[in-house]
Structure 1
Amino acid sequence: MTDEGYRTTAVAALADRDYERAGDEFTRDGWATLAEPRPELSPFAVDDNGWVGRGLAALSAAVAAYRVAGLDTRATNRAVEGVAVARDLATDTSHAVQSACFSEFVADFKTLGGLAGAGDAYEAAADEYGDAAENIDSPQAWGTTPLFEAAAATLKQVARGQDNGEIAVTWEDLHGADPAQPGAFLAHRAAFKRQRFPTLVEQAVADGFLAAPRGTTEYDNANHECPNCGSRDVNWVADTTLCLRCSTPTEKR
C-alpha cells in the first residue's frame, strides 16, 4: 500500500471512531512518507519545499488519535519518535527558517504527547524564527510551503472538531500582522500554538472525538445527508465522503 493508501484508511478509521486504528494507519503513513517524501527526493536531505514535513504531520496526527483513544503510552512513544525525527531533520537543512519550523514540530509533538517542556520548546522555536529573520525574503512564501503547511495540519484538525467542523485556525491566527518583520511574523506561529494547542488537545481527549482533516467542502449538498446529525454539509477527504460537521460517512439521498 502507498502512503496515500494509509492516509485513506486512517481517515476511514476516524469516521468509524476507531481511533486506535486511525493512529496505527497515520503512523504507517508517516513512516512511508518519511522514507520517500517524493519519488525524486532523499529522506535525508530537506528540499526547499520541505515535503518531508508531511511525514511528520502524519505522525503528529497519529499521536492525537492515540490520545483520544486513551492509549497514552503509545501516544507518548510516538511523540518521542516525532521529536527525535524532527530534531534530526533540522540538521539536514541549510535554511535556518526551516530548522525553526522543525523546532515548532518538536513543540507540537511534546504538546500532543503530553511530554514535559512543550512551552519552552515553543519559545525556542520562536527565538529561532527571530534569529533567522535576516535571511527571510518572504515569510508568506515560506509559510505556504509543504513543510509549514504540514506543521499546521494537526492543529487545524484538532481545532475543527471543536468548532462544528469549520476552519477554526486561520492564516491570520497563526501569523503576525506585519510580514515586513519576518521573524515576528513567523514566530507568532509558535506563540499562538503555545497559548491554544494544549487546551485544544485536552478538550479533544475529554470529548473522545478527533475530526477528520478538512478537504474539499460543500454546504447544503443536494445528494448527501449525514445519518448521525442530519447535516447536508459535506467534506470530501482522502477518498471518503464525510459529514463536514461530525466526520460521519454520509448517505446518498
Structure 2
Amino acid sequence: MRTTDGGFRAEAVTALAARDYHHASDAYARAGWRVLSAPRNDPDVAPFDPGEKGWVGSGLAHLAASTAAARVAGTPARATDRAVHGVAAARDLRRAYADTHPARAACFDEFIADFHALGGLDGVGDAYEDAAAAHREAAGSVASPQALATTPLFEAAAVPVKQLARGQADGEIAVSWDDLHGGDPGDPGAFLAHRATYKRQRLPGLVEAAVDDGHLAAPRGTTEYATDHHECPACGSRHVNWVADSTLCLVCSRPTEPTNE
C-alpha cells in the first residue's frame, strides 16, 4: 500500500497525457493536499508524527508536480502560489522532524529548494545551499545513507527532478542513483548533500526546458520496450509506460493503443 491520494494522482496523469496541464496541476494539488492531511489509511501514520518512513513526502511531491504543471500551462502566478504553499508545508513538516530526525529534516530542506526552482521563486541557489549544509550537519545521525535514501521521504524528494528530466530524454531514466548521490557512502554528509548540489545544477534548467517545450512528461511506472501489443498513434513508438490508471507511450506520454497483432 502506498499513500492515500484519493485517486487524484491518477486523474493528474490522465490530464498530462491529454496535455491538459491546467487540469493536471489542479489534480496534483488535490492529491498533495489529500496525502498531507492523511498520508495512509492507517491511524498510526499522521503527517506531523516524525516516523522513519516519511510517507508525507509524497504529498509534497504531488504539490511539486502541481507547480511544474502550472508553469507548463502558462500560468506562472498560479505556479508561484503553489510553490509558496509547498515551501510553507515543507517548513512546517521540517519542524516536526528537526529534533528527532535531523537527516530527514534536511530532506524537507531539499523540498523547499525544489519548490523555489519549480515556482521560479527568488533565492534558488541559497535554498539548495541550505539543504546541502543541513545534510552535512546531520551526517552524525546517519548510520546508512543508502538505506535512508531509499525511504519513501527521500524517494519522494527525487520525483520532481526525475519527472522533469524524462521530458528531455524521450521518457528514459535521465537521473540515476549515481547522478543524485555522492560517490562515497562512507561520508554520509557529502553523499546526501550531493542530492541538493545536483538538483541545483539541473532542476532550474529542466523547468525552463519544459516550459519552452510546453510539455511535462508523465512519471515513469512499469515499462515494456518494443512491444507487439501497443503502438502510439502520436509518435509510432511501441514502448509502453503503465502508470497510475493509464497506459501511455513511454516516449511522448500520450495514450497508446492496443494493436490487433
- Residue aligning to 2:203: 197
Q: Tell me, in whole angstroms, the C-alpha distance in 1 between the residues paired with 2:251 and 2:50.
A: 36
How far residue 4 of structure 1 moved from its aligned partner, in angstroms, is 4.5
Q: Choose the corresponding residue for 2:61, options 57, 61, 78.
A: 57
Q: Tell me, in whole angstroms, the C-alpha distance in 1 between the residues paired with 2:204 and 2:77.
A: 18
Q: Choose the corresponding residue for 2:231, options 225, 235, 242.
A: 225
Q: Is 2:160 aligned against 1:154?
A: yes
Where structure 2 has 5 or more consecutive residues not aligned to the other structure, the ranges are: none
Q: Tell me, in whole angstroms, the C-alpha distance in 2 between the residues paired with 1:195 and 1:59.
A: 21
Q: Tell me, in whole angstroms, the C-alpha distance in 2 between the residues paired with 1:209 and 1:54.
A: 22
- SS of the equivalent of 2:228 reads coil
TM-score (structure 1 length as normaliser): 0.98
- SS of the equivalent of 1:167 reads coil
| Partner AA of 1:36 in structure 2 | A
How far residue 39 of structure 1 moved from its aligned partner, in angstroms, is 2.1
Instruction: Report Cα offsets for 1:192-215 as digits up to 9, x if no partner.
Output: 011111101100000000000000
Q: Tell me, in whole angstroms, the C-alpha distance in 2 between the residues paired with 1:164 and 1:4.
A: 29
Where structure 1 has 5 or more consecutive residues not aligned to the other structure, the ranges are: none
Percent identity of paired positions between Structure 1 and Structure 2: 63
Q: List structure 1 runs of 4+ shifted beyond 4 angstroms.
A: none
Q: Tell me, in whole angstroms, the C-alpha distance in 2 between the residues paired with 1:195 and 1:252.
A: 39
- SS of the equivalent of 2:7 reads helix
Q: Tell me, in whole angstroms, the C-alpha distance in 1 between the residues paired with 2:20 and 2:226.
A: 27
- SS of the equivalent of 2:201 reads helix
Q: Tell me, in whole angstroms, the C-alpha distance in 1 between the residues paired with 2:231 and 2:65.
A: 27
Q: Is 2:75 aligned against 1:71?
A: yes
Cα RMSD after superposing both structures: 0.7
Query: Does the Cα contact within 8 Å between 1:123 and 1:190 map onto a contact in 2?
Result: yes
- Residue aligning to 2:36: 34
Equivalent residue pairs, number: 252
Instruction: Report Cα offsets for 1:10-52 as digits up to 9, x if no partner.
Output: 0000000000000000000000000101122112213110000
| Partner AA of 1:34 in structure 2 | L
How far residue 221 of structure 1 moved from its aligned partner, in angstroms, is 1.0
- Residue aligning to 2:184: 178
Instruction: Report Cα offsets for 1:120-151 as digits up to 9, x if no partner.
Output: 01001100111111111000011000000000
- Residue aligning to 1:10: 12
- Residue aligning to 1:44: 48
Instruction: Report Cα offsets for 1:42-74 as digits up to 9, x if no partner.
Output: 122131100000000000000000000001111
Instruction: Report Cα offsets for 1:164-191 as digits up to 9, x if no partner.
Output: 1000000000000000000000000000
How far residue 161 of structure 1 moved from its aligned partner, in angstroms, is 0.6
Q: Tell me, in whole angstroms, the C-alpha distance in 1 between the residues paired with 2:252 and 2:181.
A: 28
- Residue aligning to 1:135: 141
Query: Does the Cα contact within 8 Å between 1:97 and 1:132 map onto a contact in 2?
Result: yes
- Residue aligning to 2:174: 168
Q: Tell me, in whole angstroms, the C-alpha distance in 2 between the residues paired with 1:171 and 1:161.
A: 18
TM-score (structure 2 length as normaliser): 0.95
Q: Tell me, in whole angstroms, the C-alpha distance in 2 between the residues paired with 1:129 and 1:248.
A: 38
- SS of the equivalent of 2:241 reads strand
- SS of the equivalent of 1:115 reads coil
Query: Does the Cα contact within 8 Å between 1:46 and 1:52 map onto a contact in 2?
Result: no
Q: Tell me, in whole angstroms, the C-alpha distance in 2 between the residues paired with 1:191 and 1:158.
A: 17
Query: Does the Cα contact within 8 Å between 2:6 and 2:34 map onto a contact in 1?
Result: no
Query: Does the Cα contact within 8 Å between 1:30 and 1:57 map onto a contact in 2?
Result: yes
